[in-house]
Amino acid sequence: MRIAKTFAETRLVSSGEIGLVPTMGFLHEGHLSLIEAARRDRDNDTVVMSLFVNPLQFDRDSDLARYPRDAERDIELAAAAGADVVFAPDVDEMYPGEQLARVNVKRLSEPMEGPNRPGHFEGVATVVAKLLAGIRPDRSYFGRKDAQQLAIVRRMAVDLSFPGTIVGVPIVREADGLALSSRNIFLSDAERREALALSRGLMEAADAAEAGETAASRLTGAVLEQIREGSSVSVEYVMLASQDLVEPLSELDRPAFLALAAWSGGTRLIDNVHFDEAEDGFRADRGTRLQSKSVLYGNAGSREESRDAVDNRHR
């Protein structure tokens, strides 16, 4: 596997069709599943994983400074998952001067995560545009875990005429259903147990939708029902939205996702199920589950250090 620090170097060591997996590092199996998806796709000759903590998408400098980094471990994990090249630029390569050109995907950035994270999606769309322009991938892989981000990236690529394809990859969950996130390491045992209500609720809603339920109120109700009063979980939003425009829906009548943000204790979590059109209604994409404990726990460094590091990441 090759490590490249510049766009030019990345293009030089990549041949044929390129599959790109953008990440901010501190990898877990969710990230690795994106690399594996790119590797499985026989049309990709070279799989490039980018590893860059993007300052533009943090609303607070302190969060950026504390973002967890372990490049050595990430490079090992990426190689084992099948990456050919890790593009790990310095900030100066990505932002040689002040970044005056910014990409803003209107409307799609406004609901759900929008109000909680001002400027975040502009930072994401801008860095992804730069990666697409600099690496020129044929296919780029993004997790369905960040459903709104995926919609924004897809729209940005269409509206700005980037030639490659954007591929959405199912959520990877722990064996008991909790969606993988670097922030899961902050959950106490009790908070983690209570956070399971979120994926349990989404799975109930998935079953209901596949049984023919289309009312958004019933689907969101199925999630809320799972969250016991007095538990440490407090919900910020549960919303059914269209996959393309992230428009709130009252009926499941087009490809959509049911997404939530909630706090378990001091940790903010997001999760969703996607509903894709099938012959006889909608099929729920519930994601995949790990058989064993995530690499996140074995390799996350000291718990206290990591807690400081990742805390507030999405706030």
Positions in the binding site for ligand AMP (CB under 6 A): 23-24, 30-31, 33-34, 142-143, 145-146, 169, 171-172, 179-181
Residue 8 or 65: which CB sits closer to ligand AMP?
A: 65
CB of 199 to ligand AMP, least distance (A): 11
Q: Is residue 274 among the annotated active site residues?
A: no
CB of 179 to ligand AMP, least distance (A): 5
Residue of 31, 120, 274, 314 with catalytic role: 31
d(CA 263, CA 176): 18
Residue 186 or 214: which CB sits closer to ligand AMP?
A: 186
Q: How many helices (H) and strands (E) does the chain have?
A: 11, 12
Burial of 116 (0-12, 13-18, 19+ CB in 10 A): middle
CB of 13 to ligand AMP, least distance (A): 22
DSSP letters, 138-165, are: SEEEEETTSHHHHHHHHHHHHHTT--SE
Residue 12 or 91: which CB sits closer to ligand AMP?
A: 91
CB of 53 to ligand AMP, least distance (A): 9
Residue 7 or 142: which CB sits closer to ligand AMP?
A: 142
Whether the CB-CB separation of 48 and 20 falls below 8 Å is answered with: yes
**Among candidates 116, 112, 118, 106, which has minimal Cα distance to 152?**
106
CB of 230 to ligand AMP, least distance (A): 28
Burial of 263 (0-12, 13-18, 19+ CB in 10 A): middle
Apex CA 304: angle with CA 302 and CA 308, to 5°?
Answer: 115
Residue 87 or 142: which CB sits closer to ligand AMP?
A: 142
Residue 174 or 194: which CB sits closer to ligand AMP?
A: 174
> Taking the alpha carbons of 248, 253, 257, 262 in that order, is the dihedral positive or negative?
positive
CB of 233 to ligand AMP, least distance (A): 19
d(CA 58, CA 60): 5
DSSP letters, 254-312, are: SSEEEEEEEEETTEEEEEEEEEEEETTEEEEE--EE-SS--HHHHSS--HHHHHHHHTT
Q: At what angle are helices 120-135 and 147-159 packed, to 10 degrees?
A: 50
Residues noted as catalytic: 31
